[in-house]
Amino acid sequence: MHDKTVAELSRDLAEGRVSSVELTQHFLDRIEARDGELNSFITVTADQALADARAADERRQRGDATPWTGIPFAHKDIFCTEGVRTTCGSRMLENFVPPYNATVSQRFRDAGAVCLGKTNMDEFAMGSSTESSYFGATTNPWGENRVPGGSSGGSAAAVAARLVPAATATDTGGSIRQPAAMCGITGLKPTYGRVSRYGMIAFASSLDQGGTMARSAEDNALMLNVMAGFDPRDSTSLDREVPDYTASLNEPLKGLRIGLPKEYFTEQLDPAMEKAVRDAIREYEALGATVKDISLPHANLAIAAYYVIAPAEASANLSRFDGVRYGYRCDNPKDLLDMYTRTRAEGFGSEVKRRILVGTYALSAGYYDAYYLKAQKVRRLIQQDFIDAFREVDVIMSPTTPSPAFVKGEKTDDPVTMYLEDIFTISTNLAGLPAMSLPAGQVDGMPVGLQIIGNYFDEARLLNAAHQFQQATDWHRLAPEG
């Protein structure tokens, strides 16, 4: 059962070939047997999951089921879940139990999906390897001692290892696409504002976006059907009609115009990775698409702009964790200032502290114009590059990552090298565009991801392009050993 997609499991449930209780217990058994070596989960909610599965079976018997009723899945531990601790991978929130559900969490509950638990992540979503989690690093199931990418590495590893058929995730600078690529699964970051951020613990508010992780494009479409839509509780949520993202999956690709940005095919890209990506693009040409070289002239400024804007917003968002209202508090503080300083020093990990310091510096009176304001101007130029490109092409394709998954510890002492792991993904967050990664080959036995970037609200086109590729290839069906 664990080798089936969400779409296949949904059909099995609808036709009575399996019950939700049986399905849920099967995946819980897999988590218990395998997650000790992967550490993809922070919290497993077995009792609640089985209770929800029983309720899902009853709902199906009443005849009011949705495609998700009884389907097991997992939440990245950044989405608030009522009555279940939500840690964001940090000591600061180690024992935080929200009294409410995030909008994404509630929508899956309303659909009848069965949450098996909360997946591991880089602390406060700050990282590219899931090594900064207070609860320990996650292992990529494709290779011993390899990272799964980050920050949504727990979700990616759990899906790749068949511990869950799907998982929610978030993407601030590539945190869905990069781990999806490294773990050989399919992940989608929607247009900024397409998925509500209410109840999603903030890192950088103008960049964060909830999204999907599963094995196939079809499953991602099924997830987005649940997650997308206007939410009046989120001021950045967009009031725009949501299509059925599965409706156009089978449309042919004849006439699809693909743009290849020259700035994404440079010496920073592993040659073997480039070959795999170009082979995938040739497959698209065989499916009827046309390919055109394009330029995104300000792409080389994306990393610099991002690592001013994101830390600045993180500095503001994380100021709420001070030991006063909720979360971790130091023992026996001498006074208020001592409580503030020791709580934050003890509650945050090194990467979070680094970004808070950088962001506070960039926002300070003497440097705001020189750094933060200038970075926002560069952000606008990057966005304009994409707007210009989409006048000539329908989608943009590139590698998702410059190299396959690297060894644990290889880059932890060199933050700049770690930041460069997101060199091909960050621009789309700065521009607010939808983008996804899908498996497109292997290098030395490790997965390679193909990134597809679309115009605003063009998620259906991306999913169609990915689905058609997956009908013609088998990369998304490959599984790690075990």
| Residues noted as catalytic | 76, 151, 175
Angle between helices 103-111 and 217-227 (to 10 degrees): 110
For residues 164 and 158, is the Cβ–Cβ distance under 8 A? yes
Q: CA 201, 309, 132, 228 torsion: positive or negative?
A: positive
Angle between helices 302-317 and 350-363 (to 10 degrees): 100
For residues 13 and 78, is the Cβ–Cβ distance under 8 A? no
For residues 249 and 467, is the Cβ–Cβ distance under 8 A? yes
368 vs 204, 309, 318, 376, CA distance in Å? 17, 11, 19, 11
For residues 401 and 449, is the Cβ–Cβ distance under 8 A? yes
> How many whole angstroms separate alpha carbon 288 and alpha carbon 268?
30
> How many whole angstroms separate alpha carbon 326 and alpha carbon 315?
18
Residue whose pair of structure tokens reads 């990775």 in the numeric block: 273
Structure tokens at 168: 């929610």
For residues 174 and 425, is the Cβ–Cβ distance under 8 A? yes
Q: CA 18, 22, 24, 27 torsion: positive or negative?
A: negative
What string of DSSP letters covers 323-364?
SSSSS---SS-SSHHHHHHHHHHHHS-HHHHHHHHHHHHHHS
Where does residue 181 fall: left (phi above 0), alpha (psi -120 to 50 degrees), or beta otherwise?
Answer: alpha
Please give the helix or strand (H or E) that residue 30 lies within, else none.
helix 20-38
The residue among 160, 10, 156 whose CA lies nearest residue 72 is 10
Residue whose pair of structure tokens reads 């698409």 in the numeric block: 289
Sequence-ordered list of residues with C-beta below 8 angstroms from that of 290, at least 6 positions apart, any chain: 255, 256, 257, 258
List phi, psi (to 5°) of 211: -155, -160
For the chain, how many residues are written? 482
For residues 159 and 213, is the Cβ–Cβ distance under 8 A? yes
Q: Is residue 367 packed enough to be buried (19+ CB in 10 Å), middle (13-18) or exposed (0-12)?
A: middle
CB atoms within 10 A of CB 297: 14
